[in-house]
Amino acid sequence: MNIGEMFGSMGLVGLSVMVCLVGLSIYSGTVILDKARRFRAAANQSSQFVPVLGRCLREGKLQDAVNQARHHEKSHVARVIGEGITEASNGCGAHPDLVARVLERSTARTMADMKKGLGALATIGSTAPFIGLFGTIVGIVHAFQGIAESGSGGVAAVSGGIAEALVATALGILVAIPAVMAFNHFVGRLERFHVEMDTSAAELVDFFHRRARGAHATAR
């Protein structure tokens, strides 16, 4: 029995399971490729932005830091720092504690944005094997129906159902493994991104603390 004959002999339920798993595989692959592209761009641009940020803070050139953040718009670090400096310049008077809260909110928003799609990967990774198992059960039922209809347990009577069951099992596992592996990989990268954002945010807050102490000493 070839693949075409197997799919042709499937019932509506078994065929629906296969279509569902194929659809989940396509969606999972799309999310994985999109996240890989976005995370790679974020990592590359952040590695370029962080040294520039350090130089701008040492020289006290906040506007240059903002301009560089806009230039590296795909960088998670640049997004957080750019929002922090802009808010400090516009609304909170550059008070270090207020700047720190602005940076915390910006980091939380950036993390939430970067996590989009990962929940779907986790769901696919955990549910695809069970969908495949359901397809397996449907295939076994189909095999028993073949036995009942033929009145014998020959290979011809059960081959279609057994093939359907095995393909459903294999497809469920095949869909789940890349989704789980990609999810764990992206979660690990997000943790590193979070550390990078926190480190750069702390560097910016330290800059405002130093500037506040200098202004206080000058006033005295």
List, for residues 62-110, the tens digit of each pLDDT value: 889 889 999 998 999 999 999 888 877 775 556 778 888 889 999 999 9
> Would you say residue 2 lies in a domain?
no
> Would you say residue 210 lies in a domain?
yes
> Would you say residue 185 lies in a domain?
yes
Q: What is the pLDDT of residue 109?
A: 93
Each residue of 134-146: b (16+ CB within 10 Å) or e? Answer: bbbebbbbbbeeb
**Domain residue limits at 72:** 11-219
> Would you say residue 3 lies in a domain?
no
Q: What is the pLDDT of residue 163?
A: 77
Q: What is the pLDDT of residue 91?
A: 57
> Would you say residue 6 lies in a domain?
no
> Would you say residue 201 lies in a domain?
yes
> Would you say residue 69 lies in a domain?
yes
Indicate the pTM of the whole model.
Answer: 0.83
Measured distance CA(163)–CA(147) in Å, rounded: 15
Cα 75 to chain centroid, rounded: 16
Q: Which residue has the tokens 């500037």?
A: 211
Q: What is the pLDDT of residue 186?
A: 96
Measured distance CA(59)–CA(98) in Å, rounded: 22
Q: Which two tokens stand for residue 138?
A: 């449907």
Per-residue pLDDT at 193 exceeds 80: yes
Q: What is the pLDDT of residue 157?
A: 54
Q: How many CB atoms lie within 10 A of CB 29?
A: 14
How many structural domains does the chain have?
A: 1
> Would you say residue 15 lies in a domain?
yes
